[in-house]
Chains A and B, each alone.
Chain A
Amino acid sequence: DQQVKQNSPSLSVQEGRISILNCDYTNSMFDYFLWYKKYPAEGPTFLISISSIKDKNEDGRFTVFLNKSAKHLSLHIVPSQPGDSAVYFCAASATSGTYKYIFGTGTRLKVLA
């Protein structure tokens, strides 16, 4: 049972435009969410996080939106750059009682120059 889902395996965006990566979760106990960026053969790099007490968190070109009622979060990258091309994973955890991160299946983003 996949508790964290990224339904788009890939996404192509023109340089300078907005990239929107989506993530859905099923476990209502999740209250902390993260986005990671991963290049081949490297460890995931932490990008941005959001706690369930907020619905938006912004860091430079990256903004994460959380819709708790829909159990949905999204990562917006504006403007997209070729260096953003990578696989993006969302991850979720329930901070009360368990400390593991459950990863989604990833979305491969390709930013076209």
Chain B
Amino acid sequence: AAGVIQSPRHLIKEKRETATLKCYPIPRHDTVYWYQQGPGQDPQFLISFYEKMQSDKGSIPDRFSAQQFSDYHSELNMSSLELGDSALYFCASSFGQGVGAFFGQGTRLTVV
């Protein structure tokens, strides 16, 4: 069965550069969530979208932005990268809201 696809799987960027992470939800899923997991930490909610509209916002820095496109895929744009942005970034999708979400494999971002 198709799962949540995230690309790239690994990304190395220098400080102050920009990164774009992509998430392709499970077909027919209309809700996408983004999470950040730092080393030794639990996943922290960043932002979510339902039907291409932002539905909720968590601890997402102002340097980050995200959107969900007409085909329901989502992109997380990160600018002025800092060393502390190094983390695993997970995307999850669900059909409808308030139901179990399925996670992608994550993108490991390393800022050097």
Contacts and interface: CB of A to CB of B under 8 A. Distances in A.
Interface residues of B, number: 28
Interface in B61-88: 88
A33 B75 CA distance: 27
A25 interface: no
Give the residue among A43, A46, A95, A102 with the most B Cβ atoms within 10 A: A43
A44 B42 contact: no
Contacts of A95: 97-98
A43 B33 contact: no
Contacts, number: 63
B42 A43 contact: no
A10 interface: no
Give the residue among B58, B90, B100 with the most A Cβ atoms within 10 A: B100
A65 interface: no
Interface in B26-46: 31, 33, 35, 42-45
A105 B42 contact: yes
A31 B98 CA distance: 9
Contacts of B58: 100
A38 to B, nearest CB: 9
Interface in A88-104: 89, 93, 95, 98-104
24 contacts: A32-B99, A34-B101, A36-B103, A43-B4, A43-B92, A43-B104, A44-B92, A44-B103, A45-B103, A46-B103, A98-B55, A99-B31, A99-B33, A99-B48, A99-B56, A99-B98, A100-B48, A100-B56, A100-B58, A101-B92, A101-B101, A103-B44, A103-B45, A104-B42
Interface of B: 4, 6, 31, 33, 35, 42-45, 48, 50, 55-56, 58, 88, 90, 92, 97-106, 108
Interface of A: 31-32, 34, 36, 41-46, 49, 89, 93, 95, 98-106
Across the A-B interface, the 4 shortest Cβ-Cβ residue pairs: A95-B98, A43-B103, A99-B97, A100-B56
